């Protein structure tokens, strides 16, 4: 993974790690799908570490440390 600079609230469309991919707004067979992926900066001990907060269609919310992913794709706002 190259060096990226992330900002609070920044939107991502794809995350890749360990051969797994999460895609914004796509529903795959047998999966709940992802509604959105946004960058969150943690406070306290994890201060300054960017996390991808993944909002799932079933209401779950998961977090993935962006230092550990192998790639990302930013949402382009036009």
pLDDT given at position 1: 40
Rounded Cα gap, residues 27 and 57, in angstroms: 9
> When comparing pLDDT for 46 and 65, which is higher?
65
Per-residue pLDDT reduced to its tens digit, 57-77? 888 899 888 888 888 888 876
Longest dimension (CA), the chain: 38
Rounded Cα gap, residues 38 and 51, in angstroms: 8
Which pTM value belongs to this model? 0.77
Residue in 31, 57, 46, 24 with CA at minimum distance from that of residue 66: 46
Residue 13 CB burial class (10 angstroms; 0-12, 13-18, ≥19): middle
> When comparing pLDDT for 26 and 14, which is higher?
14
């Amino acid at each position: 993974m190259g060096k990226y600079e992330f900002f609070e609230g920044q939107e991502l469309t794809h995350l890749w790690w360990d051969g797994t991919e999460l895609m914004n707004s796509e529903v795959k067979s047998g999966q709940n799908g992802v509604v959105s992926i946004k960058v969150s900066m943690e406070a306290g001990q994890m201060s300054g570490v960017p996390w991808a907060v993944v909002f799932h269609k079933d209401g779950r919310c998961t977090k993935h440390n962006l230092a550990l992913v192998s790639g990302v794709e930013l949402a382009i706002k036009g």
